[in-house]
Structure 1
């Protein structure tokens, strides 16, 4: 559980879709509502107040009350679910008209015959005689002098209720109906449902999106369908990416944040006659202490290739030979390599491999508490908080005076919203070692989020005085000031954090720049200035995920939907964890579905603004 300073801005970026599902689908229209768009980035440091909850309830009730009610009198076809079916048998019809007979009939007579067959088809449908109804609609199609989309859509409805449903025929008939009337919402919905059943999720998403926008978001079930299929699209693509993506390290800033979440440890004592691999290992650990994280990890691989003077087989042999004086240093050396390999695996997203290595590491040196702490991190990454807490308990058994245990357990409490327990652990960690800046920062944030605003702000002010040369207190404090809409004060703190980061020779944390950009956007609606700061951040750290995500959202605010979609895809490429990947893909496909809609319905572009305003 690293104390990554990006947590606040990531929260604001990742909440965009979940809080604004409708608006994402009409992102091209957001320009007209740009003045109020800052709410998308508002910090969620404190829970929503009662007025917001009441507002949400009113919106929910309004949404339910606005749901369309369909009736049997709808001219475009049968609605089986909302009528009381007739139980009487529909009588057999006369012999179907031949092609020759149809050709000899007048246009008026053919229209009357088609209308009669459609009415009989509706009656058969309501009586749940779906095969008969489909046949009658087929005859209506043949009789009609001009193609009628409703006949195809109604026949598709019959295929829906057959056992099993014939999804291919549903798609075929809806294709025909939509070729005649591309704004036929009912046909779009039927085809979308069939495509979803056929697991053609991207096509289904396009249809559900089109139906929802054409319906002007009046039908709640359509919106639910968009959200459901959007998740299916993102899930499938995420699985594909995770299965084929080459492991790679994240940015320098991310690696620095991860290592920075642990207090430094003393270097191990190597054997009197160290191997080349042992010496390379020591160089790696020295690079780690100097903050040269990528070089450190590179040296670990080199040390492994050269060979470390310890393995489990040799340990057993040396124990039998009672040469214990050689076991301890070699044992520790190998353990440190194991620990760094674990970090390498974890940072590259190989969670299972990291867990296997950690299990081997704790078997090798059970008293090394960082292995247990990192094992807890892996379990949390996998969503298993119970096993994570078990690891913390084991670490405490090994060394109850290790402050890192309580700091990282506090992080678990924090992300599970148990802020009072988190504050207790941060306080314990600080009492054991008050030189670790993140214990102070997280204590302040936990107090704030628990509702102890005055205590949280006071803790931050003390932390700023205690660590005047660290950027993190200023950045985090700025986020809380932003949450309170004290924009000028927040910008002052972000500026101080930026100044401190730019003074570093390397591994500069650019998140204060992103935070400042979002603050300027929220307070002044100055999109150009916000984008400039995010782009500047990416020049320093090209893989800064919050900067990419923020640029994507800002692109939507200025009607650059295609650019936003591409940026969300870029975010998916650089994101590290599975949940973050799912989020980025969800954003990408949500905007892509809107792009596809506007390409299919260019005439709707001028109406999107009024639709968006109605949703605000």
Structure 2
């Protein structure tokens, strides 16, 4: 809801799977922030805002460093372990930590140079064949045939000790030879895993996969072998396999190992980024869902249609663009606006409207940088036209250029300090930045200049709620109800305030009122939000997952492309164990995403779901442990 979300607070994602620690719903205005990881993208009646989120405190410095790691920065040279007996637990622990990579970063020039040198040395080692070994041939297939079981075991232990010593001296060819001889004596999973560590040190990751796979055949619960194989798969760019092994390792450890949990999250992001890049490259530019565009346009007060001169072709074309805009035919409106600037218009202010419209469609499509040129051209043609200033400032915010954003807003205020939209959108910037006192001041200024815009009141009430001025917030919403009695939005957002306070019955009553008004007044794409909010409310209140799912389906019927409805539906399905169906919704969300960053978010959910499906199929014995871990 408008700035009040709490991750995992009654969300269907609360026990849905791997994404539990990063999943959150953030709902603002008549849109949503679909958040995963570090960035939330707000599609709101107040604009589109990208907001950085703090990582969970429990992650600490280690998790942040782990996220920065690249395969090249990981500690590759692992100590092989001596045994899996209880007497060697201390050494096992030491080796296990080493095999999972260290929290090493290369932020300084010296560290970067060292990493480059290590990579060069590793390439040399890779070219050194294991046949270069000078190790003594102690055990051969012929010689061990005549040995007793006890003699083979004793000799294997001695050979492993020699292998460990050679490894410690970085004599990898000798170490490989000794471990191979140990394997000849006994097919112990440790011997295969130790030999895999040697192959990892010389960069032979195909052989690492072979040896760790043999180790896991002998002991499917061998976590260290899983971790080593996962690292090798990642080096080989077999990211799905790497993700699977890391996930299985985490399940065995009960998700208690923060380093491996961070590895899972990093691999999820890496897989998602790869798929997002491929999708963006193969997808022609397109406008986002109509509900997304309408949400953004509704964040500005309605303006009268310009006085077009029909004698000019540019004016006639732009007039048709405005007509298409009113009808919700946004693609036609965009096309006509682009066409209008190629022919003569009656005046610079008319041309400015065309460029402003083009910039708007570029902006909502995720092309913030491209939109800047259009907005600047609109300002050059008509410096008194405030709307392109406001939208240009949002584009700068989208690019994280705060200095330019504030400069544009200051310039706009110097041009016209009586524009109510200017103060409303400046308030929105303060709001998403957590500057609620400043936001309240600007919402009030916006209302003083024009008291007919409902969202100024709604956001004022929410900002007051955020600073715990509950009485003021309640009064603002009650006054808003009286001033806009037939408007569903006020009941929807007041319901969210009540839901945040866990006043479930009152919240549902307000959502029902909003739904009733929507059905009576109009059946539009905006009918979805109160339905989704009611779904979340009945789930938190009564744990009625079936009703929640039914309400989500109604929301999707009202607006099939509503991103928050799609995400909510996926989460409710996951809660019921319908992972395959949930996966289809996450993939649909990726297809609807405007930008590569939003695709990464959606694909992260999708890949987490896909991995969980594959895990339950490949490791059915882990299903119980997975549910306990979550």
**TM-score, scaled to structure 2:** 0.78
Asked if 1:576 corresponds to 2:616, the answer is no
> Where does residue 89 of structure 1 map in the other structure?
none
Asked if 1:310 corresponds to 2:344, the answer is yes
Contact map agreement 1:41 1:522 (CA 8 A) in 2: no
In 2: Cα distance, 1:279 partner to 1:272 partner: 5
User: Superposed, which structure 2 residues align to 1:544-559 within 5 Å?
Assistant: 544-559=562-577
Asked if 1:202 corresponds to 2:202, the answer is no
In 2: Cα distance, 1:547 partner to 1:366 partner: 40
> Where does residue 494 of structure 1 map in the other structure?
511
In 1: Cα distance, 2:142 partner to 2:441 partner: 89
What is the aligned counterpart of 2:318 among 263, 275, 281?
281
Asked if 1:339 corresponds to 2:356, the answer is yes
Q: 1:482 Cα shift? A: 0.1
Alpha carbon RMSD of aligned pairs, Å?
A: 3.5
Q: In the TM superposition, what whole-angstrom CA distance separates every residue of 1:265-303 from its partner, at most 9, and x where no partner exists?
A: 23323336232x422322332454xx42325x5145246
Contact map agreement 1:419 1:449 (CA 8 A) in 2: yes
In 1: Cα distance, 2:151 partner to 2:406 partner: 79
User: Superposed, which structure 2 residues align to 1:18-33 within 5 Å?
Assistant: 24-25=17-18
Q: In the TM superposition, what whole-angstrom CA distance separates every residue of 1:338-395 from its partner, at most 9, and x where no partner exists?
A: 1111222222333332222222222222221111111111122222222222211121
> Where does residue 121 of structure 1 map in the other structure?
163
In 2: Cα distance, 1:473 partner to 1:333 partner: 35
> Where does residue 304 of structure 2 map in the other structure?
266
What is the aligned counterpart of 1:530 among 548, 565, 569?
548
Asked if 1:301 corresponds to 2:301, the answer is no
SS of the residue corresponding to residue 246 of structure 1 reads coil
Q: Structure 1's 560 and 148: CA in aligned 2 closer, same or farther, altered over 3 A?
A: same
> Where does residue 384 of structure 2 map in the other structure?
367
User: Superposed, which structure 2 residues align to 1:207-222 within 5 Å?
Assistant: 207-222=245-260
In 1: Cα distance, 2:10 partner to 2:394 partner: 23
What is the aligned counterpart of 1:448 among 447, 465, 468?
465
Contact map agreement 1:280 1:299 (CA 8 A) in 2: no
Higher helix share goes to which structure? 1
Q: In the TM superposition, what whole-angstrom CA distance separates every residue of 1:435-470 from its partner, at most 9, and x where no partner exists?
A: 111111111111111222222222111111111121
Contact map agreement 2:83 2:190 (CA 8 A) in 1: no
Q: Structure 1's 43 and 260: CA in aligned 2 closer, same or farther, altered over 3 A?
A: closer
SS of the residue corresponding to residue 413 of structure 2 reads helix
Q: In the TM superposition, what whole-angstrom CA distance separates every residue of 1:525-544 from its partner, at most 9, and x where no partner exists?
A: 11111111110111111001
Q: Structure 1's 180 and 143: CA in aligned 2 closer, same or farther, altered over 3 A?
A: same
SS of the residue corresponding to residue 508 of structure 1 reads helix
What is the aligned counterpart of 1:590 among 589, 608, 615?
608
Q: Structure 1's 11 and 279: CA in aligned 2 closer, same or farther, altered over 3 A?
A: farther
> Where does residue 33 of structure 1 map in the other structure?
none
> Where does residue 218 of structure 2 map in the other structure?
180
Contact map agreement 2:488 2:514 (CA 8 A) in 1: yes
In 2: Cα distance, 1:283 partner to 1:463 partner: 35
Contact map agreement 2:11 2:24 (CA 8 A) in 1: yes
In 2: Cα distance, 1:504 partner to 1:193 partner: 55
In 2: Cα distance, 1:93 partner to 1:130 partner: 11
Q: Structure 1's 308 and 230: CA in aligned 2 closer, same or farther, altered over 3 A?
A: closer
> Where does residue 179 of structure 2 map in the other structure?
137
Q: 1:258 Cα shift? A: 0.9
Q: 1:159 Cα shift? A: 3.2
Asked if 1:101 corresponds to 2:135, the answer is no
Equivalent pairs, count: 547
In 2: Cα distance, 1:518 partner to 1:172 partner: 48
In 2: Cα distance, 1:507 partner to 1:73 partner: 63
> Where does residue 188 of structure 2 map in the other structure?
148
Asked if 1:401 corresponds to 2:394, the answer is no
Contact map agreement 1:569 1:588 (CA 8 A) in 2: yes
Which structure's relative contact order is higher, taking Cα pairs within 8 Å and 6+ residues apart?
1
In 1: Cα distance, 2:261 partner to 2:334 partner: 51
What is the aligned counterpart of 1:421 among 438, 445, 449?
438
**TM-score, scaled to structure 1:** 0.80
In 1: Cα distance, 2:553 partner to 2:135 partner: 71
In 2: Cα distance, 1:44 partner to 1:284 partner: 29
Q: Structure 1's 120 and 538: CA in aligned 2 closer, same or farther, altered over 3 A?
A: same
Q: 1:43 Cα shift? A: 8.6
Q: Which runs of 5+ in 1 are unaligned?
A: 1-5, 28-36, 46-55, 64-69, 86-91, 312-328
Stretch deviating more after TM superposition (471-480 or 257-266): 257-266
What is the aligned counterpart of 2:529 among 490, 505, 511?
511
> Where does residue 237 of structure 1 map in the other structure?
275
Q: Which runs of 5+ in 2 are unaligned?
A: 30-55, 64-79, 99-133
In 2: Cα distance, 1:444 partner to 1:489 partner: 17
Contact map agreement 2:524 2:558 (CA 8 A) in 1: no
> Where does residue 48 of structure 1 map in the other structure?
none
Q: 1:508 Cα shift? A: 3.4
SS of the residue corresponding to residue 287 of structure 2 reads coil
SS of the residue corresponding to residue 509 of structure 1 reads helix
User: Superposed, which structure 2 residues align to 1:407-486 within 5 Å?
Assistant: 407-486=424-503
Stretch deviating more after TM superposition (211-220 or 410-419): 211-220
